[in-house]
Amino acid sequence: MPLKFLQKFVAQYSAGPADWDALEEALLRADLGVSMTTHILEAVRKRGLDVNAQTAAEVCREEILKVLPPAGPPPMPLPDRPSVVLVVGVNGTGKTTSSAKLARWFTSGGFGCLLVAADTFRAAAIEQLEAWGKRLDIEVLKGQYGGDSAALCFDAWNSAHRRKIPYLICDTAGRLHTKSNLMQELSKVKRTIGKHDPTAPRECLLVVDATTGSNAIVQAKEFHEAVGLTGIILTKLDGSGKGGAAVAIQHELGIPTRFIGTGEKPEDFAAFDRDTFVNTIL
């Protein structure tokens, strides 16, 4: 069975040699990016210039599976201090919703979690996270709008440490990756938490909207430079998003996708599994 985004291509060219331009267009439309598309086309060409569409699709699957790493172990709590997760991203990607779903994912595994409403800029951002907290029965720490989000995260770490809460999830303000001053503020949040624990935050997760397309790679590069990303949360896979951004980011930057969001419900969230992803989403 060919990948979803190649099914039309395979059906169209099943009777003869694959059309190289059509294959390239299909790969780019799937948001695999120029670099990964070029890599796949070179791998297909090694099979011969008259390769058929089915073989081309098989090579595509093989190369994507080579790029995507197998699922790593889930982040486990630290023995003597809170494990901090910094959730970052541009506006509108589903960052606050993903923070809440991630907190639920931890608590469903039997671990305590504290959410921090560190988005002190967007109107109603604090109330949105509080609503999720009430819905999921997870505590939310908040400050004032316009307040110092770095100081809030600093105090939240103290609270989590004192109360022996294993996980601290900081929902930071959405910011355009092109605004250097906002990215510097994000770096400040990371540095401030690091005063408690030089290894913190343990995870820096970028929330990426699957419908963003090739711009997702640019976002990942900028945020990676600012905070050192450890992974991606890929959201809105229930819509028109192809999911190829996960492959492109992994191929170009070596940043793995850790979680995926497939809907608005709390349970529409899962740890990333490359086989499931390739077989059911791409």
Please tell me whether 90 is known to bind a ligand: yes
Please tell me whether 202 is known to bind a ligand: no
Please tell me whether 91 is known to bind a ligand: yes
Please tell me whether 97 is known to bind a ligand: no
Based on DSSP, count helices (H) and strands (E) in the chain, helices before strands: 11, 8
186: Cβ contacts below 8 Å, ≥ 6 apart: 88, 172, 175, 223, 226, 227
Please tell me whether 175 is known to bind a ligand: yes
Please tell me whether 174 is known to bind a ligand: yes
User: CA 256, CA 232: separation in Å to the nearest integer?
Assistant: 6
Q: 17, exposed or middle or buried, with CB in 10 Å at 0-12, 13-18, 19+? A: middle
Measured CA distances, 110 to 6, 166, 203 (Å): 41, 10, 19
Please tell me whether 236 is known to bind a ligand: yes
Please tell me whether 237 is known to bind a ligand: yes
In eight-state DSSP terms, residue 81 is S
Cβ contact 227:186 at 8 Å: yes
Q: What token pair was written down for 90?
A: 């541009």
Please tell me whether 133 is known to bind a ligand: no
Please tell me whether 92 is known to bind a ligand: yes
201 preceded by cis ω (within 30°)? yes
Buried/exposed 56-89: b ≥16 CB within 10 Å, e otherwise: bbbbbbebbeebbeebeeebebeeebbbbbbbbb
Task: Give the residue among 141, 72, 73 at the shortest CA–CA distance from 103.
Answer: 141
Please tell me whether 171 is known to bind a ligand: yes
Q: Token pair 């996270």 is at which residue? A: 129
At position 233, the amino acid (one-letter code) is I
Please tell me whether 279 is known to bind a ligand: no
Please tell me whether 94 is known to bind a ligand: yes
Cβ contact 58:175 at 8 Å: no
Residue 97: φ, ψ to 5°? -60, -40
* Annotation: binding site: 89-96, 171-175, 235-238
* Annotation: binding site for GTP: 89-96, 171-175, 235-238
